[in-house]
Amino acid sequence: MKNIGIISKPGKPEPPEILKELIPWLTGKGFNVFIDRETSDVMGIKGYSRSEMPELVDVVVVLGGDGTMLGAARLVAEKGLPILGVNLGGLGFITEVNRSDLFTAIETMLRGECSVEERIMIQADIMRNGEAITTYTVLNDLVITKGALARIIDLETQVDHSYVTTFKSDGLIMSTPTGSTAYNLSAGGPIVHPVLDCIVLTPICPHTLTNRPIVLSGGSLIEVGLKSESEDVFLTLDGQIGVSLKKGDVVKVKKSPHKTRLFIPGERDYFQVLREKLKWGER
């Protein structure tokens, strides 16, 4: 572990402040540091495009919130690079290191004393006229949803080629365990322990109230076909990328061969994370 990449949330004042101290600290220990260009431009130092970084580094440190972490996870998924997330955002379910613990956590990582937790990712192939037009891999979730003025949409759903139902709803969430505390939770889906191997299927505001979330095996193939005429339907990936869908399109979802590898410094109790982030037990 000689080359360290650092990706930060653009526009926040904290990353440049941290990096003014962190970069000389790392280089003084003999490490090569690669800063993403969005941050380096603000600091007036040399930077690298994010697309270059997976080929240049051995590990990635993320300074930001869960959104920055999700983008980094997709970026390095194919290379399988481990990520250390430092929370400068809000809840921070996957960027668990606090700013005050940053240097301690990085030192633990550099000594090789961090455990690495693997999280499954899911892959979506968008099929149009029987052909895959694009493929995406995500850490949190895939969401099919209608626009603000669109009617309820019909989503014909199959699991492992067996017909499940046609959801008449505002949309459908397909979530990893990591993403279970994101949109899935807001839509009434279950919290799933992040290291489990499964996919959660959660309808959004279903017209049939007995349509409930379901937890599927991680090895399942989910196929969702858009049967509505509406032209205002989108597939959203990790809440960050949107793709317009047409009637007849089928979204095929399965577990990705790639995983996100997260550094976990010290002993971590996931239920403590839930208590702190979701304020369990508070009045």
Amino acid letter, 256: S
Rounded to 5 degrees, what angle do the CA atoms 85, 116, 220 make? 95
Which structure tokens are listed for 235? Answer: 């597939």
- Three-state DSSP at 184 gives helix
Closest to 248 (Cα-Cα) out of 223, 267, 273: 223
Q: Rounding to the nearest 10 degrees, give the CA dihedral for residues 78, 84, 88, 90.
A: 70
Cα(63)–Cα(18) distance, rounded to whole angstroms? 9
- Three-state DSSP at 145 gives strand
Cα(158)–Cα(165) distance, rounded to whole angstroms? 7
Q: Rounding to the nearest 10 degrees, give the CA dihedral for residues 269, 271, 275, 278.
A: 120
Cα(245)–Cα(18) distance, rounded to whole angstroms? 42
Amino acid letter, 27: T
- Residues 221/184, Cβ–Cβ less than 8 Å: no
Integer distance in angstroms from the first to the last C-alpha of the chain? 45
Residue 36 is classified by DSSP as B
Which residues have a catalytic role annotated? 66
Cα(64)–Cα(4) distance, rounded to whole angstroms? 16
Which structure tokens are listed for 225? Answer: 């076909």
